[in-house]
Each structure stands twice: as structure tokens, then as C-alpha cells.
Amino acid sequence: MTMSLMLILVLSLSAFPGNVRGDDDPMSASFVFGDSLVDAGNNNFLPTLSKANIKPNGIDFTASDGQPTGRYTNGRTIADIVGEMLGQKGYAQPFLDPSTNGSVILQGVNYASGGGGIMNSTGRIFVNRLGLDIQIDYFNITRQQIDGLLGKAKAKDFISKRAIFSITIGSNDFLNNYLLPVISTGERISETPEGFVDTLINTFRGQLNRLYSLDARKFVVGNVGPIGCIPYQKTINQIDATECVGLPNKLAVQYNGRLRDLLSELNENLPGAKFVYANVYDLVMELISDYKKHGFKTASAACCGNGGQFAGIIPCGPTSSLCDDRSKYVFWDPYHPSEASNLIIAKQLVNGEPKYISPVNLRQLRDI
């Protein structure tokens, strides 16, 4: 449960159609990896403390008539919106959903999990979650299923040329690992910030190489957003509405610099691969800094939550206070952006300039 890469992440920022032949080509897929920013319901099928399949989550998600789906927001994730903008038919379905089988997987599959991270130890406080290693294990299962549907030669062509791999992950590795007290299984006792970031990057390098070995070629990777600015961090640190907590943001910036270098390295060393860097940190920071310009009335308080000045302690649920106008809040809950924020971010990722998305934007990546 984080705002990690709001992105992106990421990311994520992560459901894509097509290829150069256009948005109507059915042979296109998105494979979405990450955390709660792009989880489309995998945690619904896990015995975990990190769940969003309770009201009022999903209140604005029209595809479910306003019923919760397991998305950690009031409506669509960035991944959902990006897919719509690029013409994808339907959303990538959660891997753990029993109905995600047969030809539906050719549209793409969502492996993201609330509480998941790059490190296997991340998110342990939630009891169960899917870390990135497990998510890739699950993609390997999907990969074999696609072999069975298309035949090995066509499956390889499909995965390498007509699928986008979106990865929105990293925030939990700080918020729900390194920054936790030692008694809660945080890593800070044994590693310096530099050492922990180095461990993250080296682990992530191996994970991305593993996806490449499974024929993935088009990647979009979101960096870690300004996690020191989420309502939860502001509330527990009792800071002013105009401020952000320094250490989490400093760690994010440090990691993001190394991530950019890693993706450049992979672009140089992995033949045929295209790794795109989504600068969610700056996108979200600008949204927070200029929230009035974007039509919001607050970038500090959660629309749905309880506890403290910014409703940032207790996650969104049936007993939470709920704002009157969800379109006026940057944050839906103590950790995650609102659909209104996701829409602004998604537009920049699809058509944005190199300062936000490089070396190509997502529309260009789709058409390569």
C-alpha cells in the first residue's frame, strides 16, 4: 500500500495495446507488474492485510458499477487509463483470478500486488503479498500458456514485438521495509541508505534480465514518487500541509538516479530491448506543488481515510470519512492517488516530453 510511483508507476502506467499496425489489432497485450498503484485485484485472492476490495474503494469505477474490484483508488489506476488512451480493449486481468485463462491472457495479465516490492522481505507486515520475483514466476506460467495457444514461434513473436511490460514498484521497499522500525523487519539496522539502494538495483537488474530471457522486449519502468509527501507520512510525522518528509524523498531521489542509469545500461547491453524510464517523481511533485493549477483544493489530505490532520492513519474503508468532491483531491487515501490525479499523470506518460518519459513516450513505445 503505497503511493510508490504514482506512477507509475509507475506505473504503472501499464496497459497497452498494440503495435505499428494500429489500435484495432487484437494481437497486442500488456503485462503489468508492481504494487498497489497498479494492483487490479490480485490481493483479493490472498490472505493478506493489504486489501482494497471494500467500499468505498472503486466508487467511481464505472466498469464495476462503482463496486470495489481490489484497486486501491476511487476509480481507474494509471495502468487502466493508459490502456484506454492507447486503444486497448479491456483491462489486463489479475493473474490470481480463476477466470484469467484461455484466450483472455492474449490481452495481457496483471500480476501486481498491494504491499509487493523488489525485495522478497518487503511487505512482510501484510502477511501475504506477491513480490516481484513471484510475479515473474507467474508470468513464466502465462508465457507457457501462450506457447500452448499460439505455438512457440508465434508466441515468441507475440511477446517480443506486440506486448508491453510495465513495472511500477519500489516504494514499498522503502516505506514497508527500509524505513520500518527494526522490530517490524525493516532493513535499516544492517545497511546504509547507499547499501540498501545498491541491493535494490542489483536485485532489480536480475529481475529485468529474467523477463528479457522470457522474450520481453518493450518495457516501461516507473521510478519511485515523492513518498515523503503522501498523507500517511505527513500525518505520522506531524508536519505542515506545505511540507514533505525529507528522508523518504531523499531515498527516492537516490534510488531514481540509480534506476535511470540501470535502464540506460540495459538499453545498451540487451539486444532488441527498449527500456523506457517514467519520471513519476517529478510528475507527482509538480502536481502537489501546483495543485490549484490542476483544479484540486488539497494535495495534503486524503479524500478517504481517518486519523490525524490529513486523514492519513487508517486506510480507506466503510468507516472512513469521505470527502464531498473526489475530483478535488490529489490523494484518494493515505497512500494512493485519486483517479483525477491518475488521469493527469497518464496523459503525460502517453504523450509527454522526455523530462517525464524517455527515451520515448508510451505512444511511441507502442508503435516501435
Asked if residue 331 lies in contact with residue 337, where contact means CB atoms within 8 angstroms, the answer is yes
The string of DSSP letters for 43-72 reads: GGGS--S----STTTTTT-GGGTT---S-S
CA distances from 281 to 8, 185, 228, 356 (A): 9, 26, 11, 9
Angle at 93 between CA 320 and CA 303, to 5 degrees: 20
Residue 55 to residue 325: CA distance in whole angstroms: 16
- Enumerate the active-site residues: 36, 333, 336
Residue 7 to residue 349: CA distance in whole angstroms: 9
* Residue 183, SS3 per DSSP: helix
Side-chain half-sphere exposure of 117, counting CA atoms within 13 A: 27
Listed residue (249, 245, 229) closest to 237, CA to CA: 245
Asked if residue 2 lies in contact with residue 177, where contact means CB atoms within 8 angstroms, the answer is no
* Residue 167, SS3 per DSSP: strand
Residue 38 to residue 135: CA distance in whole angstroms: 13
Residue 39 to residue 1: CA distance in whole angstroms: 10
Which residue type does 73 have? T
Residue 285's Cα: distance from chain center in Å? 16
68: left (phi over 0), alpha (psi -120 to 50) or beta: beta
- Residue 84 cell numbers, joined: 484506454
